[in-house]
Amino acid sequence: MTELRNAEADASRFRMRVWLVGVVVLLAFGLLVARLVFLQVVRHDELAEQAESNRTAVVPIVPNRGLIEDRNGVVLASNYSAYTLEVTPSKAGVLEDTINSLAQIVDITPRDRRRFKRLMEESRSFESLPLRTRLSDEEVARFAAQNYRFPGVEVKARLFRSYPFGEAASHAIGYIGRINEAEKARIQDSDDEANYRGTDYIGKLGIEQSFEHQLHGVTGVEQMETSAGGRAVRRLQSFPATPGNTVTLTLDIRLQRMVEELFGERRGALVAIDPRNGEVLALVSKPTFDPNLFVEGIDFENWAALNESLDKPLLNRALRGTYPPGSTYKPFMGLAALELGKRTPAQITQDNGSWTFGGHTFRSHGDHGLGAVDLYRSIVMSSNVYYYQLANDMGVDAIHDFMAPLGFGQITGIDLGGELRGVLPSQAWKRGAYKRPEQRRWYAGETISLGIGQGYNAFTVLQLANATATLANGGTSHQPHVGMYTTDVMTRERHPVPRAAPVDLGFKKANVDAVKHAGWHWNARLCRRALRVGRKDRHRAGGHHRAERQIQRQETGRTPARPRALHRLCSGRRAAHCARRHRGKRGLGRGRGCTHCAPGVRLLAQWGLPQRGRHGGGAQGPGDRADRHAASGRRRSTAALKRAVTVPAGVAATGSR
């Protein structure tokens, strides 16, 4: 029997199915449209940027680092270009096998391997690290022919820093080195992060560090079209890098090298300042080091030799060495006495060779006295007794308050990092420096030795030179500085380095002249002796070390311990005295030579500092003529001698043995 179908029910079911399919299709198309809208509209900018990045690559262009010149335009730091073989550890597979294979193509020394290993420890695995630097054209060609064998290895052209004068002025110029993790973190937290993309090196010391912003330049970029394999096809857009500015220093490299040669192998420091403006003409710290060792990353052997040396060549003694100033402190004490009304120029103090206070006898130079001593004779004859009594009359706090504006125990603000403050003692200083109650108390007997530059006094050579310059110019304090100006390499415009305005300390001219008059006669008397040539002076040189040890025993009451490290700060007025005791048969610098840098100070005084160089006046000063006469052993008249020793320069030095 045939079943009859309900046509109406079938039609209803069909319509239901069609409706459901339609809804599903509409939902599918709706989802598709929504997704298209999301991708094409909402995420359009993001996806367009990703697509463009797949097609292009932005490559930073590292700027040429700026040059460093001395005051006469002599280049002290420059750049040169060389090929480097660089490896990206994350792409190079098994590094040891890769390096061994590369060694068959280019010469890779054990030193290169050690340096690469050290760089890996300091860097991330995806960074490109130099394995071998300064490749020859032949080595580049050999590697290029087999480049396909070494993924993650490439040859790049890089700029390297060069210091043509080597060790000369290295503490002032400084050096550059690879950016470490701490410096990377600091750069990322600053506004210069974009400017340091692609940069591997940064200033680490000296001018290279303090003028990093001016020397670095502005990083450029290139937009390159790349293939699917990541190779550059063509340049789409380029914004060239702006080279760093040229920094011109106040240093005179001829003067700097001359002083360093006079020091020889001896330890010490010397600073020469132009009192008219605070320009540092020479900043010497011996022994020194070669900054070229740090450019590519110093190896372990050289680092150990520098870091473990007993002579501490990495220590900048001019800024970080603190020493008792000794008798070079006396002119400032004399000026303090006049300014504070504690003495008059004609007031007499009886120097019997010693002075007793509180049951303790403070001795002078030897057991013989100088008799009646006024301010003039106290400086010329370097009377200890005069300044023992003066220090007792003034008190420690009065001495502190007068010396602080002169820069003693203060940060001078020189444009080099790492300067130490030193110690200018006062009652408040001692309370903060010690913990035990009996140590925190200031005893009156401790003030006595301050008058002759001993006791707690500990100043840097820079501070003494700055104070000497202030005294030489009549009482105007200039901030010492090594940077003179920067030159924009694009516009050739010069921009003076900003510095603090000079400060007039308000000293009375008559008081300053009285101290300077005594200081000149000290120089004149001793320089006349220094010009004498004969067997007697040569024979005296042998007793110099014994005499110095005797002086230290008398002034400090202690016998120098072994190894002897006797420090003496020398200003211009003491220079000729030390030079006389150690001059050779003809001229300065022969024979044994002074162990306390006095030849360098005296020769600086005769150099005629402000008269030399294109920024300092004439090309030759009166000191040059005096030095030639001294070297030839000829006598000088008093007038000529006066011209030789009254150059307006602040010079301070320290030496040790």
| Active-site amino acid positions | 327
CA distances in angstroms from 90 to 57, 94, 130, listed in the order given: 20, 9, 14
Q: SS3 for 572?
A: helix
Using CA atoms, how far apart are residues 401 and 381, in angstroms rounded to an integer?
27
Spatial neighbors of 567 by CB under 8 A, at least 6 apart, are 323, 324, 654, 655, 656
Q: 486 has which bridge partners?
A: 247, 495
Q: Taking Cα atoms as reference points, which of 584, 585, 587, 588 lies closest to residue 598? A: 588
Place of tokens 């006797």: 566
Count CB-CB contacts under 10 A for residue 113: 16
DSSP 163-194: -TTTTTTHHHH--EEE--HHHHHHHHTSTTTG
Provide the token pair at 183.
Answer: 């410096």
The sign of the torsion formed by the CA atoms of 355, 358, 361, 364 equals negative
Look up residue 48 and give its two tokens. 């367009």
H-run or E-run covering 111: helix 110-122
Look at strands 650-656 and 568-571 and give their pairing: antiparallel
Give me the sign of the Cα torsion angle 374, 376, 379, 381: negative
Burial of 218 (0-12, 13-18, 19+ CB in 10 A): middle
Backbone angles phi, psi at 262, to 5 degrees: -65, -35
Which SS3 state, helix, strand or coil, does residue 475 take? coil
**Cα–Cα distance measured from residue 171 to residue 290, given in angstroms and rounded to the nearest whole number:** 10
Kind of pairing between the strands at 56-61 and 220-226: antiparallel
CB atoms within 10 A of CB 293: 18
Reduce the DSSP state of residue 315 to 3 states and report it.
coil
Do 161 and 79 contact (CB within 8 A), yes or no? yes
- Please classify residue 80 by burial: count the beta carbons closer than 10 Å to its beta carbon, then call 0-12 exposed, 13-18 middle and 19+ buried: exposed
Burial of 565 (0-12, 13-18, 19+ CB in 10 A): exposed
Overall residue count recorded for the chain in this entry: 657
**Residue-wise burial string across 627-639, b where 16 or more C-beta atoms lie within 10 A, e elsewhere:** bebbeeeeebeee
Write the CB contacts of 633 (distance below 8 Å, at least 6 apart in sequence). 531, 533, 586, 587
Tell me the torsion sign for CA atoms 161, 162, 168, 169.
negative
Sorted by sequence, the CB contacts under 8 Å of residue 392 that are 6+ apart come out as: 357, 444, 447, 448, 451
Q: Are 113 and 155 a contacting pair, CB within 8 Å?
A: no
